[in-house]
Chains A and B, each alone.
Chain A
């Protein structure tokens, strides 16, 4: 099949021949400069490892309060879901849904899709509906905004600092770690390698 050595740039549709990359190298489109593929050492293992770690962190980030505001001797703490619920009850349903989808639902889907794809492959077989889940993973990708959310937390914390003393919660730290992991995950994720490996199981 021609495609095994040829690749079309996803941004300018230019047909190019694949070249072997050194470890950690990146292949760019010769015309528009878009990143075509990268060779990351142990991409597969690392993606799975980061995904599992991110799931734990994500669980912590959602279960524990993000920040607490100490005012009048009273501590108001809020978890991510509390925030969504408050917005929902304040008749800001659209904003609540937006926050819920981008900060909770989409990252969750992303992490679980990655696990679903990688874990069975690690054990030597492809999961059922592999292609469907893969498509879902790609669709979810632009909407997962953990890093923006983290920055939002930090800005609001600084904003509230004038009003009250702010106590960072466990979830704040785990959101920070989650953001780093998500970035690492984006760096090591290699869909080409995933498909190669998947096809190898057939």
Chain B
């Protein structure tokens, strides 16, 4: 059609009409089809840019072992939310550790503080809890505890043991000193009124090796119950005590029986104190009783020298005053005096004077009963206050030291010149018996035997005089007296006959005696038999095989 039109010579067009400009088809024309790669490029570029923009910070964490960690698989989780992924696991150049490179999600660089913690979560059974069971199925992951420090970091050292509490958990950490660790471990529970309120977060042997320092974390809101006079004690195991009210079994929980734990309480007697500051230091007591004792802030030390054997007295034995423990034995030594050539056994004790203070009167204020303790002690000793060894337990022969007032005790004084001062003692109860006998002998010794002799002589003289007077009166009574005497002789004769060896009375009693002797023998045989065959009581005597 177009050809026809253009070639149609029907219309005679003026030659002066301008011809349309024909341009060859441009090779550079961008065709519509190029939209497809353009879109693909845009999408790809956008994805690439986004993935670059979304790329979070890259951190390295060093661990002792990479057990369970897999590059490209293992995640980093904070509160169980993925915040990153392990991208590379390599050995450190010195082979001492593994270095884990992890890529975090965008925006997490604000969480990378100096005290941000990393640890590997694997299945773990410890501290009364089984954790990380989920990782049995999913494989290990790296737990993250975001710190509070302002200092930013990108290289971390991972924890080998997961922290017990997350760094953001509310609560406070306290420091405990204990002579030993007992059965405690990371994660051992801390109880308050049998509620689990915290955990042990760490422990260390003291530098000098003389004790253990534990760190415990008490969760909020329970941490407010820890004040400066709160007592901590080992709640490990079972505390079985026998007392006047019967047997008392005291435990915190099954968990603590199995795994150990701590408990704390603030003595009710003391008035409320403000909550303790974080990282406050406390003493860890062995048990509740010890922990809840009134704290002895004042300690006086004395030496006591006993003359008797100290078998049964051990360090830690009680020093008591009429049943109240007022101190304890610290050490038992031997001392050889080269001058006198004697061996003495000085016993050192700790004496807690506050226990004599009337608690009611003193209230929270504790202190000594007297202004001048030295004069007070001197006065008491002057009145007869002495130390004495006593047997606490007849079965075991345990000894304790009793302080008591012995008004009859020989006068003695405290020797303040020695350190520690020497407290006068009196001998113990058994020794006392011995002493009483001695004192009886001493008393006998002191008796006025000459005076008694003189008295006796006088008495004899008086008797002689009386006899002579009697002699004269007897002669006057003779006929009757003779008759009485004859009578008496006859009576005596008949008695004599009755008691003669062949008299029937004697014969009867002799037969009875032998009868009894036989019965006794038979009884002994029976007893012997029963001893060997006690079943004979029930089954009867068996015929003996011959």
Contact = CB atoms under 8 A, between A and B. Distances in A.
Q: Do A and B have CB atoms closer than 8 angstroms in the complex? A: yes
Interface of A: 42, 45-46, 49-54, 56-57, 59-60, 63-64, 71-76, 82, 170, 174, 177, 181
B40 A56 contact: yes
Given A52-B40, A53-B39, A53-B41, A72 B33 contact: no
Interface residues of B, number: 22
A57 B44 contact: yes
Contact of B40 (A42, A53, A170): A53
A50 B47 contact: no
7 contacts: A45-B33, A51-B37, A56-B43, A60-B43, A60-B47, A73-B138, A181-B36
Contacts of B137: 72
B40 A57 contact: yes
Nearest to B42: A56
Contacts of B4: none
Contact of A50 (B36, B80, B138): B36
A155 B543 CA distance: 95
Interface in B138-158: 138
A46 B32 CA distance: 9
Interface of B: 31, 33-34, 36-41, 43-44, 47-48, 51, 72-73, 75, 80, 82, 134, 137-138
Given A72-B137, A74-B75, A76-B73, A42 B44 contact: no
Contacts of A64: 47, 51
A50 B37 contact: yes
Nearest to B73: A76
A49 B72 contact: no
Contacts of B72: 82
Contacts of B33: 42, 45-46, 49-50
B44 A49 contact: no
B78 to A, nearest CB: 14
Given A45-B31, A53-B36, A170-B47, A73 B80 contact: yes
A59 B47 CA distance: 11
A56 B37 contact: yes
A38 B43 CA distance: 32
Contacts of A56: 37, 40-41, 43-44
A49 B31 CA distance: 9
Nearest to A61: B44
B47 A52 contact: no
B37 A59 contact: no
A74 B75 CA distance: 9
Contacts of A75: 82
B132 to A, nearest CB: 13
Contacts of A76: 73
A49 B73 contact: no
Given A53-B41, A64-B47, 13 more contacts: A42-B33, A49-B33, A52-B40, A53-B36, A53-B39, A54-B40, A56-B37, A56-B44, A57-B40, A60-B44, A71-B138, A72-B134, A170-B47
Contacts of B34: 45, 49
Contact of A53 (B37, B80, B134, B138): B37
A181 B44 CA distance: 15
10 closest A-B pairs by CB: A53-B37, A52-B37, A53-B40, A56-B40, A56-B44, A49-B33, A53-B36, A74-B138, A46-B33, A49-B34
A64 B54 CA distance: 13
Given A72-B138, A74-B138, A49 B43 contact: no
Given A72-B137, A74-B75, A74-B138, A49 B37 contact: yes
